[in-house]
Amino acid sequence: MPVNYQQIRKAIKDAGLAMPQRERELLARRDQLFQLFGQFAGQPTLLRERANQALAANPDLRLALPPDQALDSRISEDLNQPAVTMWAADGSQIIPDAHLAVQFGVINVGLIRLAAQEPPRQQIESKLLYANELYSAQGHLLGEESIALRRDSSERTALLKAAQGETSPVLTLTDGPLELFREMGNSMEYKQQVTEYLSILSQMAEKRIATAGYVDKPRSDLVIRLLELQNIPAQDLGKSDRLRSLVGIPDTELFASFLEPCERSVVFELKSPSAQYFGGDLAIHFFYLNVGRTAKAHIVRVEIPAWMAGSESTLATIQHALLAQCRQMGSKAYPYILHRAHETAVVSYDERNQLLNLLQVELLNQGLSAGETSQKQQAKNLPGKTRFGQ
Amino acid sequence: MNTDQIGYLLRASTSGAVAGCRVSELELPQLGCMLRIPQAHGYQVYGILYDMHIDDDGLVRQLVTADSISPEVIADNRLHRTVPVEISMIFAGYQQGEHIFHLLPPRPPLTLEDVYLCTPVEMCAFTASGHFGYFRHILRGTDFPAAEILASHLRQAALAQLRQDNPGWANAATQEVITLLRDDYPTLMNVLAALSDAQLMSEE
């Protein structure tokens, strides 16, 4: 029996009993949120001042900084936007596994290009991580976070390489935030990867290659945190990250309440510890976009660098291009090009095993040992127990 | 890929094979057409196409729910997505050197062999050789509509023969079908009805 259902069942029952109470609390918080929003949505300067005070007291705060526009502004799609060439990249990876016979990693980036009246193109960029490349400067085997960081950087590098050959306006897209949000603190490796990543973004900005990060089902509460500050006394702003009154409500709930299908919000600036690396032209901005249908809002967050955020025509182009992509996917709105990039990039478990075999064959050809799977892994690979009746 | 090549062999048995091709190559073959799979030493296997299978997948199912699908998305799906069209063929005979036999091939071709569409000249050479012995391979078929496949094949072969100054081929082929099915009235009627729909005689 894989799970102790008796224990889990009790936990589910207990959680179920607590659900109505939690729902009542969330309801009260939502009322409070909409009151705050009604009161302050039209006062962006006041909100901005308050946010700046809080940031001065605690620079590690994570929140949205509003523009000089009302927060409840709704910007419709401009259907007369010119067509742009789109490139999307998505990455997939094989994380080094110490239990395998041979340690190796792979970063795989799938690229798709779509342009009106041109044949679509796809590319795959694969990088094998082997031997010294598998270890951090401190000698640790690269882990999930580290590989993910390199993958994010590889996606953007591949996009720059692909898009700089374009002669017409181009929009490059990745799935997930533009911000490198990884739990690696301020490690040397993180800083090094961020520096490389920023260099790529800078080159994109210089060449005016538009780039965006598309976050489907965002759970962030950046605007909520901004509004929350209004409830906190000035002397307590420094500890506002611990004085949360609207926990559990994501921004999407707020924007779903007033953004009609195909409308976007105003553009906010993202403030966070990791966003501090992104300054000037590269400062991370974002807007929310309703890619859903009437009475069925689906709010996504789109992250862009500052140089794009200041251009209304660029924003209109992105909004239209993303919505056009989402419309291709029918009832489940998501940019078609991103799905295809993912489909192109994804590395399956079977492929990992094939690469392992190739490496082992090469080692044997060189007269070296092909390594040995750990005994723990060998035990795990044994056929599972057969249950009665199966 | 050669212009007449339609794909590569996926799997084969003694009586037939399945080839895979990209959707973009689907314009060439048609039901009942003749295919050939060249082998080494002057040996090649002939087949008759009896089924084309186009699978869907999760993404295609979702895309069809869109109000309109852009030409780029359609092109991307047809060019790049790995959904091969499966082309099934029954073996009709083989060639060894100069000789064509309407027998099942001595051994099936191997996976990833090139599969070509027969040119009208190649089709004429195969169909005019011997005495329609390959019809029995088609008529024996139980997992495909034999009458329809035969009618479609005869229509294409008759047209090719007509252009090669062999107008009597269609009549002789029809007589052979009647002879082969003389003891199987329901199938004979089915085949003759299909041949009537194929307007085979009007080609003469």
Q: Give the best residue of A111, A122, A336, A348 to mutate against chain B (max B CB count within 10 A).
A: A336
Q: How confident is the model at residue A210 (pLDDT cuts 50, 70, 90)?
A: very high
pLDDT, tens digit, 9 for 90 and up, residues A98-130: 899 999 999 999 999 999 989 999 999 999 999
C-beta atoms surrounding B53 within 10 Å:
11
The answer to whether position A116 is within a domain reads yes
The C-alpha atoms of residue B153 and residue B138 are separated, in whole angstroms, by: 10
Predicted pLDDT of residue A185: 65
The answer to whether position A135 is within a domain reads yes
The continuous run of DSSP H or E covering B155 comes out as helix B146-163
Evaluate the CA torsion angle A364, A366, A367, A369 in order and state its sign. negative
CA B57 from centre of chain: 26
Average pLDDT over residues A212-224: 96
CATH of the domain at A261: 3.30.2170
Which amino acid appears at position A178 of this protein? L
The answer to whether position A106 is within a domain reads yes
Predicted pLDDT of residue A238: 85
Residue located via tokens 């910007």: A75
According to DSSP, the residues that pair with A287 across neighbouring strands are A302
Which amino acid appears at position A101 of this protein? A
The reply to whether A28 touches chain B by the CB within 8 Å rule is no
* Mean pLDDT per 10-residue section of chain B, whose length is 204 residues: 81 95 77 95 95 87 88 87 84 95 95 94 95 94 91 94 92 93 91 83 46
Taking Cα atoms as reference points, which of A212, A217, A216, A223 lies closest to residue A320? Answer: A212
For chain A, the average pLDDT equals: 91
The answer to whether position A11 is within a domain reads no
Strand order across the beta sheet in which A105-114 lies: A63-65, A268-271, A284-290, A299-305, A210-215, A170-175, A85-94, A105-114, A121-129
Judging contacts by C-beta atoms under 8 Å, the chain A residues touching residue B81 are 340, 343
The answer to whether position A312 is within a domain reads yes
The C-alpha atoms of residue A50 and residue A33 are separated, in whole angstroms, by: 17
Q: What is the dihedral of CA B146, B151, B153, B158, to 10 degrees?
A: 150
Contact B49, B35 (CB under 8 A): yes
pLDDT, tens digit, 9 for 90 and up, residues A295-344: 899 999 999 999 999 999 999 999 999 999 999 998 899 999 999 999 99
Predicted pLDDT of residue A380: 85
The C-alpha atoms of residue A171 and residue A86 are separated, in whole angstroms, by: 5
Structure-token pair, residue B56: 């869907």
Choose among A115, A330, A343: nearest Cβ to B63.
A330
The answer to whether position A290 is within a domain reads yes
Residue located via tokens 């090549």: B5
What pTM did the predictor assign? 0.83
Where are the extended beta strands (E) located within chain B? 5-12, 16-21, 34-38, 43-54, 85-96, 99-101, 114-117
How many alpha carbons fall within 13 Å on the CB side of residue B118? 27
Choose among B67, B75, B81: nearest Cβ to A327.
B67
Structure-token pair, residue B119: 């040119």
Binary contact (A328, B79; C-beta < 8 A): no
Going from the C-alpha of B178 to that of each of A376, B123, B136, B175, the distances in angstroms are: 70, 22, 12, 5
Q: Which residue of B has its CA nearest to A111?
A: B80
Q: How confident is the model at residue A227 (pLDDT cuts 50, 70, 90)?
A: very high
pLDDT, tens digit, 9 for 90 and up, residues A191-209: 888 899 999 999 999 999 9
Residue located via tokens 């409308």: A263
Predicted pLDDT of residue A13: 93
The answer to whether position A7 is within a domain reads no
Predicted pLDDT of residue B56: 83
pLDDT, tens digit, 9 for 90 and up, residues A131-170: 888 888 778 888 888 899 899 999 999 999 999 989 989 9
Taking Cα atoms as reference points, which of A305, A197, A227, A300 lies closest to residue A71? Answer: A227
Q: Which residue of A has its CA nearest to B70?
A: A328
The reply to whether B40 touches chain A by the CB within 8 Å rule is no
Predicted pLDDT of residue A136: 81
CA A276 from centre of chain: 17
Contact A270, A222 (CB under 8 A): yes
The C-alpha atoms of residue B143 and residue B141 are separated, in whole angstroms, by: 6
pLDDT, tens digit, 9 for 90 and up, residues A352-374: 999 999 999 999 999 999 888 88
Predicted pLDDT of residue A366: 94
Binary contact (B66, A329; C-beta < 8 A): yes
Give percent above pLDDT 90 in chain A. 73
Residue, of B2 and A6, whose pLDDT is higher:
A6
Q: Which residues of A22-50 are buried (b: 16+ CB within 10 A; e: fewer)?
A: eeeebeebbebbbebbeebbeebeebbeb
Predicted pLDDT of residue A53: 94
Structure-token pair, residue A52: 């700046």
Which amino acid appears at position B70 of this protein? S
The C-alpha atoms of residue A57 and residue A239 are separated, in whole angstroms, by: 8
Which amino acid appears at position A137 of this protein? A
Helix/strand/coil percent split, chain A, to 5: 45, 15, 40
In chain B, domain spans? 1-118, 121-204
The C-alpha atoms of residue A269 and residue A93 are separated, in whole angstroms, by: 31
Predicted pLDDT of residue A273: 85
Contact B37, B9 (CB under 8 A): yes
∠ Cα B197 B203 B204 (to 5°): 125
Q: Which domain holds residue A296?
A: 85-345
Q: A residues 94-123 near B, CB within 8 Å?
A: 112, 114-120, 122
How many domains does chain A divide into? 1
Contact B58, B25 (CB under 8 A): no
ipTM: 0.70
Predicted pLDDT of residue B31: 93
Predicted pLDDT of residue A182: 66
Predicted pLDDT of residue B133: 95
Q: How confident is the model at residue A241 (pLDDT cuts 50, 70, 90)?
A: confident
Structure-token pair, residue A239: 């500890």
The C-alpha atoms of residue B25 and residue B65 are separated, in whole angstroms, by: 26
pLDDT, tens digit, 9 for 90 and up, residues A243-296: 888 999 999 999 999 999 999 999 999 998 887 788 899 999 999 999 999 989
The answer to whether position A371 is within a domain reads no
The reply to whether A79 touches chain B by the CB within 8 Å rule is no
Choose among A116, A120, A329: nearest Cβ to B76.
A120
Q: Where are the alpha helices (DSSP H) in chain A?
A: 5-40, 44-57, 144-163, 188-206, 222-228, 251-256, 306-309, 312-327, 336-345, 349-365, 375-380
Residue, of A185 and B168, whose pLDDT is higher:
B168
Residue, of A10 and B1, whose pLDDT is higher:
A10
Residue located via tokens 């050669």: B2
Is pLDDT above 50 for A72? yes
Residue located via tokens 């949000």: A181
Predicted pLDDT of residue A390: 47
The C-alpha atoms of residue A141 and residue A95 are separated, in whole angstroms, by: 10
Predicted pLDDT of residue A331: 83
